[in-house]
Structures are given as C-alpha cells and as structure tokens.
C-alpha cells in the first residue's frame, strides 16, 4: 500500500469481512473433524430428529426422527413375519420376583432398573403431591422382557407340538443409564425384542443365527450400513445368555457401534422359569430359548454412518420422504402456474414404487426464502430436492439437487420421473459403498502389541483427534486379554463368523490360537 489512511484500512478490513469472498460454509458447526460428539448433537438438532425431554435421560422423538423409526419398523416387521414370527404385546411392568429368577440376569440389569413402589398420589403437607399406597411387591419397569415373556411361555408350552414358539414385540424399555446421548443411549428407548422357544438346541441356535442374518441384511441393504457379524466374547455377553451374536458397524469417528444383538439363551431361562414340554417319547424337557433385538439406537447409527458437515444424509430407503419439491416464483401469477406443476409432479411421483413402497414426495410451499428452504431440507437429509420455476415450465425441465453430491443439475421432467427410482438406488448404493470404503480404510490386521497400542493411541492426548479404527487380531478370550485392553479403552467387538482358520499368536497373551477378533473403541 502506497499511502496509508485510517479510512482506507477500515474499508479494506470491511472488504475482507463483508465482501463476497467465497468461504467454505457448512450448515453444521463444528465439523466432524473438529468435535465429533458435538457435531453429532448438532446434526440431531438441525435435522429436527429429537430433543431432550424434561425428564433426565429421556428423549422426545420428533416427527422426522419418528418417521425414520417407522420406516425401520415397517421393513423389519415384514422381515420378522417372513421368517415365521408373530407380534404380541407384554406389560411394561414386571414383578420384582420375576427378575430374581435368573441370577446372571439380575446382576446385569439390577443396577439400572426403574422401580414402581406406589400406586397413588396424595396431597402432601407442603401443598404438593406425595406418593401413597405402597405396593406389596414392587414392580420393575421392563429393562428387557425375557422374564415376563418367559413366564407366559411356561404356560403356553406343554407339548413339543407347541414348539417352536416365535414371538416379537415392539415396545419401549427403560434402563436407568448414568450418561445418555440422544438415540445412542437414552434412559427410555424404543425397540423390538424377539423371543423364541424351541425343542432342540440346534434349532434355537439356527434361529439365533438366522435373526443375526436378518439384522445384517437390514443394516446393509436398507440402512446402507456395512456391518460385521460375529460372536461376543464372554465379557461382552448378554447377562444370562450362552452365546451372544452382534452386528458391529464403524461410525465416521472410527468407533464401533453395536447395532443389533441376537442371543442364544440355552436352557438358562427355561430352567429358571420352567418352560418345559413333553416330547414325542413322553419325556419331559426344557425348551431352548433365544432373544434378539434392535432399538432406536439404529437411528444414531444411521446418522453417524452417512451424515456430513451439512447435516443429516439419509439413504433413500430410510428417508420418510425421498423427494421434496420446491416451487420457485416471484408473483401470484407465476405462483399459480408453478404450484400447479408442482402438485402434478408430486402426484405422479407418488404413483411410483420403490422397494415395495410408494415413493414419498411432498411440495414445500411454505412462505420461506428460497435459500433457507433449500438448507432446511439439506440439513434434514432429504435424498432429492426438485426445484420448479417459471423457466423450467417453459422448457419442461426440472432442477435437481442430490443430497449425496454437492452439485445440482437440470434435466427434463419426463426423464427425471422415469429414472427416479434408479437414481434413488444409485444414492442408496453409493452411500453403502462410501461407508464400506471408509471402514476398509480404517481396518488393520495387527499382529503385535506395540502396533496395537500405537493404533489406538491418539497423537494429541489432551484433545484426541479421530484415530484408530478396527483392528483384526489373533487372540484368546481370557481375563488377561481383557486386563491388557482396559487402559487403552479398547474392547473386543466381536469374533467374526467368517474365520479363515489359520493359526497365529494372541496379540495380548502370546498364546497360539486360530481365533481372530475385531477390536475397537466403542459407543
């Protein structure tokens, strides 16, 4: 600068601050890189999925979030029925004595049970209401329903002809957690729990694995979320189960999320609750039972699998609405024409079928500024935005924005409609491929403790950056292994069902073994 003058400098700074220098702008702050947990919270908020409730640890699921859950329910419910299950409903309250029957089960859940001790409120001395009418036997708000369903099963099952018994219920459960996060861990959550009883061990085991397969199929093909099917180690097993299987997914911060579990309960619950039957030979046997479940946690998994720094990204098969139509006009005259065209397109799109269901589209004709409206839908993860304005009407075209890519493009309306379901599939598959590539990039086969330790240690200890991932290691499931992992906050996620059966040495104990496990930090 040749001559300096305060005013000049002021204008220069002003220019820098307010002129239209294009700055990379994201709808969500902070970004994933900067503060992943906070990013997650902001996405939930910006997409209007849920909010914290007046009751600590509980959440209010808002329409857009509940819409996702309804889609999950719809698809899963059909899958359950296709594999021979029926829905039923059991009470939210469980007599305390029921929970006491299975020792391991008690240990697992007692610490986090909500207990009902009274059945009435009376005016208190200070004007408020105080509980009165103490119950003779306290009731537990179900943390899971093995015990109360098992009790029913014990009455329903008499003969081998009553088996198998395959029941599912959609319900809410309560677990009084210390620390909660929307969708990932809440004190009350929605889920489905399947409970089955079988005449033979073999059949029960097959059921357990089949349902694990159903979950994996759903996660990968409907949620576009790649998962690893595997068995849980002893330390991670469901309280009271002989074998616990799970599907494990990698989130974008490279932490693992258990997305669904399927338990082989052996005869533990049937013996505790006397689920027994007379077999064909006239002898008396205990049934073999299973239980399996997924919860609203899947919504958390969905968010963290695909979303970006502009907010939620929904795979089309999960989106409550696949298409939003945005009318663009300047005056009433244009509005009339544009709205007519929008409604016609909306109607036409709704006649299309996508994976067995109607395509859901809607016209957003709210009186909002264009940009605001666009970002509203970007943040909510609507897969496809269609803009229609006067110019498009003349050309018979539409302007299309896809949530999975930054750029918009023009296309003839006829072509848009005829290729819509293909485009949706392209988005759906693209999201899966992207998540799969991300997981592959951060999965390592690790053979030494040194490398293992390094893999899971952040460079910056005070403000840990996103690091680690999945480590695939030979290991022996024993207390020594668990102890060694503790300081790293790494846990065995699962023992994958796919094993190559080659021999190696346990990374933690040095013992010879054929078993490989997946290790990671987890939610």
Partner RNA sequence: CGGGAUGUGGCGUAGCCUGGUAGCGCGCUACACUGGGGGUGUAGAGGUCGCUGGUUCAAAUCCAGUCAUCCCGACCA
Residues lying near RNA in the complex (CB under 7 A): 25-27, 37, 52, 56, 108, 111-112, 175, 177-181, 184-187, 189, 236, 238, 258-259, 261, 295-297, 326, 328, 330, 369-372, 374-375, 379, 387-392, 399, 401, 408, 489, 522
Omega before residue 164 within 30° of 0, cis: yes
Nearer to RNA, 164 or 239 (CB): 239
Q: What phi and psi, each to the nearest 5 degrees, are found at residue 164?
A: -75, 155
| Nearest distance from C-beta of residue 474 to RNA, angstroms | 24
Tell me the closest approach of the beta carbon of residue 330 to RNA, in angstroms: 5
Q: How far apart are CA 11 and CA 16, in angstroms?
A: 9
Structure tokens at 186: 């809440």
Of 211, 213, 218, the C-alpha closest to 265 is: 211
- Smallest separation, CB 282 to RNA (Å): 39
Q: How far is the CB of 366 from RNA (least distance, A)?
A: 11
Q: How many CB atoms lie within 10 A of CB 523?
A: 17
Question: What minimum distance in Å lies between the beta carbon of 124 and RNA?
Answer: 16
> Given the complex with RNA, which of 112 and 503 has the nearer CB atom?
112
Strands 323-327 and 115-123: unpaired
Q: Nearest approach, Cβ of 371 to RNA (angstroms)?
A: 1
Q: Record the tokens describing residue 245, joined without a space.
A: 């299987």
C-beta of 320: minimal distance to RNA in Å?
A: 21
Q: How far apart are the first and last CA of the chain?
A: 55
Alpha helix ranges (H) inside 28-184: 36-46, 63-82, 96-99, 103-109, 146-156
Of 123 and 458, CB closest to RNA? 458
Q: How far apart are CA 334 and CA 248, in angstroms?
A: 52
Which lies closer to RNA via its Cβ, residue 13 or residue 55?
A: 55
CB of 460 to RNA, least distance (A): 15
Complex with RNA: residue 73 or 285, whichever CB lies closer? 73
Calpha distance 167→251 (Å, rounded): 31
State which residue, 64 or 277, has the beta carbon closest to RNA: 64
> Judged by CB, which is closer to RNA: 175, or 403?
175
R_g (Cα) of the chain, nearest Å: 27
Q: For 192-204, give one letter per residue: b (16+ CB within 10 A) or e.
A: bbbbbbbbeeebb
Q: Which is nearer to RNA, 372 or 422 (CB)?
A: 372
343, two tokens: 């409604």
């Amino acid at each position: 600068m040749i001559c300096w003058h305060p005013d000049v400098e002021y204008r220069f700074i002003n220019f820098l601050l307010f002129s239209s220098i294009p700055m990379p702008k994201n709808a969500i702050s902070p970004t994933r890189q900067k503060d992943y947990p906070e990013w997650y919270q902001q996405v939930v908020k910006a997409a209007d999925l849920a909010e914290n409730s007046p009751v600590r640890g509980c959440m209010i699921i808002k329409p857009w979030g509940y819409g996702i859950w309804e889609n999950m329910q719809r698809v899963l419910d059909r899958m359950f029925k296709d594999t021979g299950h029926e829905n039923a409903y059991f009470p939210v309250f469980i007599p305390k004595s029921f929970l006491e029957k299975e020792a391991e089960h008690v240990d697992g859940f007692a610490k986090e049970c909500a207990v009902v001790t009274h059945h009435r409120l009376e005016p208190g001395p200070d004007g408020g209401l105080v509980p009165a009418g103490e119950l003779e036997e306290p009731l537990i708000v179900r943390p899971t329903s093995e015990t109360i369903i098992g009790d029913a099963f014990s009455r329903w099952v008499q003969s081998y002809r009553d088996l198998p018994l395959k029941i599912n219920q959609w319900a809410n459960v309560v677990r009084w957690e210390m620390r909660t996060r929307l969708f990932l861990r809440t004190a009350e959550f929605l889920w489905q729990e399947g409970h089955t009883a079988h005449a033979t061990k073999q059949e029960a085991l097959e059921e357990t694995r089949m349902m694990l397969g159903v979950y994996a199929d759903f996660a990968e093909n409907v949620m576009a979320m790649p998962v690893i099917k595997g068995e849980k180690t002893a330390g991670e097993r469901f309280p009271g189960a002989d074998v616990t299987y799970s599907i494990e997914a990698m989130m974008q911060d490279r932490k693992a999320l258990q997305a669904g579990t399927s338990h082989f309960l052996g005869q533990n619950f049937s013996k505790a609750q006397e689920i027994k039957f007379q077999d064909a030979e006239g002898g008396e046997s205990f049934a073999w039972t299973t239980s399996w479940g997924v919860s609203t946690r899947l919504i958390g998994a969905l968010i963290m699998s695909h979303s970006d720094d502009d907010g939620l990204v929904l795979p089309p098969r999960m989106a409550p609405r696949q298409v939003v139509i945005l009318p663009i006009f300047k005056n009433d005259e244009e509005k009339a024409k544009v709205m007519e065209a929008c409604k016609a397109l909306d109607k036409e799109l709704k006649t299309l079928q996508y994976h067995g269901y109607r395509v859901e589209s809607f016209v957003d004709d709210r009186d909002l500024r264009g940009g605001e409206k666009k970002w509203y839908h970007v943040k909510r993860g609507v897969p496809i935005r269609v803009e229609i304005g006067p110019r498009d009407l003349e050309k018979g075209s539409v302007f299309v924005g896809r949530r999975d890519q930054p750029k918009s493009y023009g296309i003839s309306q006829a072509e848009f409609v005829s290729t819509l379901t293909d485009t949706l599939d392209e988005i759906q598959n693209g999201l899966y491929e992207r998540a799969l590539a991300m997981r592959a990039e951060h999965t390592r086969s690790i053979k030494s403790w040194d490398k293992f330790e390094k893999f899971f240690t952040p460079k910056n200890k005070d403000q840990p950056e996103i690091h680690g991932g999945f480590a695939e290691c030979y290991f022996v499931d024993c207390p020594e292994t668990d102890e060694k992992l503790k300081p790293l906050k790494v846990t065995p996620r699962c023992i994958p069902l796919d094993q190559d059966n080659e021999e190696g040495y346990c990374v933690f104990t040095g013992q010879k073994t054929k078993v490989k496990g997946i290790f990671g930090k987890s939610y």
